[in-house]
Structures are given as C-alpha cells and as structure tokens.
C-alpha cells in the first residue's frame, strides 16, 4: 500500500511539473490539460481515497438487553437464504432481515463438544480441555452463563443434551436448565419457557439437534422427492458414510440392504445419490425453519423484541460430499459457520472481518454494557480485530487450522507431519486447489507453532 501511495505522489509531482510548463508556454492549453490530469488522478486514486475515508461499521449498543442464543447443530450458512438466497429458510430470513450478518465467523473445532464449549467460555479447546468424550470441564473456568448471572441476569438453558448439556457440565451457571434435544418433539417446552419466565434481564440458550443426521426424519419437501436410489430406504446417517468414494460395508450401519448387496464390499455414491443426500439435509433445515417460526412468534408475543438481542449460530457445519462426509475435517462448510445478530434499533450490517466463536462471549458482554471478561482467548470484536484465527481437533488425530481470511492452512499436528493443505479461500472458496508448495506458507506454520505452544 505504501508503494502504491508513493506512486500516486510521484504522479502528482510529474503532473504539476507538466502543468507548470504548459502554463508558461501556452495558457490556452493549461485548463484542458488540468481537466485531463484531474480525471486521471480521480480514476487512479479513487479506491485509495475511498479506503481512506471508509470506516468500520459503528458498534451497536443494547445496554441491559435480554439475550437469546439459538444454536442448531450442523447448520451450514449456505443453506440459509439470508446468506445465499436459497429458499429453505423463509422464517429465519424474515426475522433476521435487518440483522448484523457475519461472513467470516469460525468455530474452533469441527465437532460439537470442543466448539460449543469455546462459545460458552471464550477459550480455545487447548485451554478449556474439553477436546475428547469423557474429559472433565474444570470448575475454575468461568462460563458465559456464570458471568451473566454474576451481573444480574437470569440464565436459562434449553439444551440438546449430550455434548451441549449437563453430561459435560455445560449447564453450569444456568438458573434453569432443561433438555430439548430436538424441537421436533419438545417445541412446547421452548414456547412455554419463553412465556413463563418473565424475569429480566435474561440470557437464554437454545441448542438443538433438529438439523443433525439422520437426514430423512421429516419427509421430503425439497428436491428429494422422486428419488428411488439405494439411499431411499433407511435413515441416512453421516456416521455411516466415512470414506469419500470408498464407503466400506463395515461402516454402513443404517443404509438399506439393497445398498449393501448391490455394491458388495465397496459402495460409491453416484451424482444422483449425492444430490439426494444434500436434498435430505435441506429437508432438515426446512423443518428447523418451521419450528423456529413458532419461537420467533413467541418472542414477539411476549413483547420483548425491542429490548432483546437474538443470536442464530452453529458450533460447526457439515460436509455433504464436497470433500468428505460428516464433520471431522476443517474445510469451510464445517468451520465457517453462520452468525446472525438481531439487535434492537441497529441497522442491517454485514461484518466481513475475521471472528471466532471464542469472541461471542466477550462481544455479547460488551454489547449489553457489561465489562469484557478477562483471561479468555476471545476478543470484543466491537473494538478489536484478529489477524489470524485458529481451529483444532483431536478426532481422529490432532489437527490444526489457521486462517487470515485469505489463505487457510490445514496440518495434522504441530510438527507438520502428514498431509499439509494450503488454500486461497478468497479465490478458491471450495478449497479444490491445494497451493502448498506453490505459495509461501511459512507465516502460517509460524502462527500454528505459536498457537500450539501458548
């Protein structure tokens, strides 16, 4: 940038010299020449002038507001109309039409337990330690619920259980906690809770598994209709499909007998099968949207939306055969997740800077007028920003991710043994072209080294 500005300055000096010479020789040519140079200067310097005067979106405030955080598991942002224009989510799109939309928001891990815990604590998995099933959650770690409760909030958890509930002590700090699992069977619990608890201010967390596999729970309402292939008979579970192109029978536990017998030892999905698989995922999203409409209507009926921040996000997304299936690897469909903030009196804004889900806790705290919690990894995004953000996972083996929003490096461990992948996610958002070896990656290696050792 400095070099480009220097070139502009040099151009101005040259133009001034030429104009001075012409003024001395023939004043009639001076003003046409002045106009020409002014036009050229405007065209060349316009982007820099615009950039100079451009500013970040004004940070919203909602002091003392209630907070509702809705976390549907494995929800991909490209299946939301507000992000991609698809038609699966009319209720979500309408409710969040004037929201803050975050386009570079990342989970900290490709599966629920570590990423959800990061959201609740503001800590990366390496610091909160909940990176494996069966690990303990330290009592010394402050959760978002505890912090808000300490500051006068009534705290409510309507959680999906399992990796998002009491089994891992993730209801700690909530004044009231109850398992929902899915809206499918327990929507009334959510609606009754919204109506019954009138204590304000409150923090309410709703985490549900309605989008999670299996993907033909709710009946086909999308392009899945008319499909008669081998996936049609039984519930589709991504845990049954672990190998791209080579889906071994021993890993297929929920698929139809016809699928197994017709393919014997190796199963390969056809384009039609993949399209069906994705359509059934979309069906789950359509189902979620229909249930959330009732939640949005209940919040409206309570008359609290003028002082309530409503958040929609997910701990991670899902690979639908772009590279793999399920959510074990750290590609964009899994790690780059939706974040929508409906903030009273705030104007519609798109936030494009990097954000990690460790930032949600401190940023919501600041938004409602609380001090930003200390000794956490997350930042208050309203007045700070990241140069890099990270992801990590121990399943099936330790892996790291780092991105600066342009390039993303994926490695299998902190010693960089095994597969190394580097993608230009701006030019190649599908992560189809590994440019490791073609583009310098040392900066990203250094960042992972610093991250893993800090």
Q: Which of 443, 446, 392 is nearest to 113 (CA)?
A: 392
Give the predicted TM-score (pTM) of the model. Answer: 0.82
- Domain membership of residue 454 (yes or no) is yes
For residue 39, give its domain range. Answer: 2-53
Residue 250 pLDDT: 33
Residue 34 pLDDT: 52
- Domain membership of residue 287 (yes or no) is no
pLDDT tens-digit readout, 292-343: 999 999 999 999 999 999 999 999 999 888 887 777 789 999 999 999 999 9
- Domain membership of residue 48 (yes or no) is yes
Tell me whether strands 325-326 and 319-320 are parallel, antiparallel or unpaired.
Answer: antiparallel
Instruction: Answer yes or no: are the C-beta atoms of 409 and 422 closer than 8 Å.
Output: yes
156 falls in which pLDDT band (50, 70, 90)?
A: very high
Residue that finishes a domain, picked among 53, 73, 90: 53
Least confident segment among 61-65, 144-148, 417-421: 417-421
The alpha carbon torsion through 407, 410, 414, 415 (nearest 10 deg) reads: -100
Six-digit token string for 211: 């989008």
Count the helix, strand and coil residues of the chain and give each as a percent rounded to the nearest 5. Answer: 40, 15, 45
Instruction: Answer yes or no: are the C-beta atoms of 317 and 117 closer than 8 Å.
Output: no
Token pair 């993303």 in the structure block, residue? 408
Of 45-49, 135-139, 193-197, 403-407, highest mean pLDDT: 403-407
Residue 252 pLDDT: 38
- Domain membership of residue 328 (yes or no) is no
Tell me whether strands 420-424 and 407-411 are parallel, antiparallel or unpaired.
Answer: antiparallel
Residue 52 pLDDT: 41
CA distances from 97 to 94, 346, 351 (A): 5, 12, 14
Residue 295 pLDDT: 97
Residue 232 pLDDT: 66
- Domain membership of residue 354 (yes or no) is no
Mean confidence (pLDDT) of the chain: 81
Residue 164 pLDDT: 62
Contacts of 53 (CB under 8 A, 6+ apart): none
Tally the domains of the chain.
Answer: 2
Residue 245 pLDDT: 37
Phi, psi for residue 350 in degrees, rounded to 5: -110, 120
Q: Which residue has the higher pLDDT, 270 or 289?
A: 289
Residue 32 pLDDT: 59
- What's the CA gap between 314 and 390, in Å, rounded? 17
Q: Which residue has the higher pLDDT, 438 or 45?
A: 438
- Domain membership of residue 36 (yes or no) is yes
431 falls in which pLDDT band (50, 70, 90)?
A: very high
Instruction: Answer yes or no: are the C-beta atoms of 431 and 334 closer than 8 Å.
Output: no
Instruction: Output DSSP code: residue 410.
Output: E
Residue 222 pLDDT: 67
Q: Can you tell me the mean pLDDT for 129-148?
A: 83
pLDDT tens-digit readout, 37-79: 555 554 554 444 444 444 567 788 999 999 999 999 999 999 9
Alpha helices in 207-270 (DSSP H): 257-263
Name the helix (H) or strand (E) containing 295. helix 271-302
Residue 226 has pLDDT above 60, yes or no: yes
- What's the CA gap between 267 and 254, in Å, rounded? 13
- What's the CA gap between 223 and 212, in Å, rounded? 19
- Domain membership of residue 233 (yes or no) is no
- What's the CA gap between 439 and 422, in Å, rounded? 8
Least confident segment among 56-70, 206-220, 306-320, 394-408: 206-220
Token pair 């392009």 in the structure block, residue? 223
- Domain membership of residue 312 (yes or no) is no
The CB density around residue 40, as the number of other CB atoms within 10 Å, is 12
The alpha carbon torsion through 110, 312, 190, 148 (nearest 10 deg) reads: 90
Least confident segment among 5-14, 44-53, 224-233, 401-410: 44-53
Six-digit token string for 448: 């992972």
Contacts of 49 (CB under 8 A, 6+ apart): none
pLDDT tens-digit readout, 241-279: 544 333 333 333 344 344 445 555 455 678 888 888 888
Residue 163 pLDDT: 57
- What's the CA gap between 41 and 30, in Å, rounded? 16
pLDDT tens-digit readout, 181-193: 888 888 999 999 9
Q: Which residue has the higher pLDDT, 213 or 157?
A: 157
């Amino acid at each position: 940038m400095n070099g480009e500005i220097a070139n502009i300055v040099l151009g101005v000096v040259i133009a001034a010299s030429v104009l001075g010479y012409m003024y001395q020789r023939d004043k009639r040519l001076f003003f046409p020449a002045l106009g020409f140079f002014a036009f050229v200067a405007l065209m060349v310097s316009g982007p820099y002038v615009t950039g100079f005067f451009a500013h970040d979106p004004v940070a919203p405030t909602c002091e003392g507001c209630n907070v509702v955080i809705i976390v549907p598991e494995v929800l991909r942002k490209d299946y939301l109309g507000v992000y991609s224009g698809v038609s699966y989510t009319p209720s979500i799109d309408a409710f969040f039409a004037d929201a803050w939309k975050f386009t570079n928001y990342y989970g900290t891990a490709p599966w629920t337990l570590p990423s959800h815990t990061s959201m609740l604590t503001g800590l990366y998995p390496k610091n909160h330690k909940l990176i494996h099933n069966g690990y303990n959650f330290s009592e010394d770690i402050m959760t978002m619920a505890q912090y808000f409760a300490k500051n006068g909030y009534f705290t409510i958890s309507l959680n999906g259980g399992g990796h998002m509930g009491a089994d891992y002590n993730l209801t700690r700090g909530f004044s009231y906690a109850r398992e929902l699992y899915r809206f499918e069977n327990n929507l009334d619990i959510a609606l009754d809770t919204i109506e019954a608890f009138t204590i304000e201010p409150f923090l309410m967390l709703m985490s549900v598994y309605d989008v999670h596999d299996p993907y033909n729970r709710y009946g086909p309402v999308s392009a899945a209709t008319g499909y008669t292939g081998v996936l049609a008979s039984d519930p589709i579970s991504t845990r049954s499909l672990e190998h791209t192109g080579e889906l071994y029978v021993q890993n297929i536990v929920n698929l139809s007998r016809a699928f197994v017998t017709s393919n014997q030892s190796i199963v390969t999905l056809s384009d039609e099968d993949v399209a069906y698989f994705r359509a059934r995922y979309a069906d789950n999203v359509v189902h979620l949207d229909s249930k959330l409409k009732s939640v949005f209507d209940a919040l409206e009926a309570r008359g609290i939306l003028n002082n309530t921040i409503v958040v929609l996000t997910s701990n991670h997304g899902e690979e639908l055969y772009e590279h793999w299936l399920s959510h074990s690897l750290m590609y964009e469909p899994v790690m780059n997740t939706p974040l929508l903030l409906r903030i009273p009196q705030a104007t519609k804004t798109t936030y494009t800077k990097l954000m990690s889900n460790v930032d949600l806790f401190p940023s919501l705290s600041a938004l409602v007028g609380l001090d930003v919690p200390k000794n956490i990894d997350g930042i208050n995004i309203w007045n700070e920003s990241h140069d890099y953000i990270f992801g990590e996972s121990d399943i099936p083996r330790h892996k790291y991710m780092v991105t600066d929003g342009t390039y993303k490096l994926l490695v299998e461990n902190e010693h960089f043994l095994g597969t190394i992948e580097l993608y230009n996610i701006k030019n190649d958002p599908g992560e189809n072209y590994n440019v490791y070896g073609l583009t310098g990656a040392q900066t990203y290696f250094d960042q992972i080294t610093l991250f893993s050792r800090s």
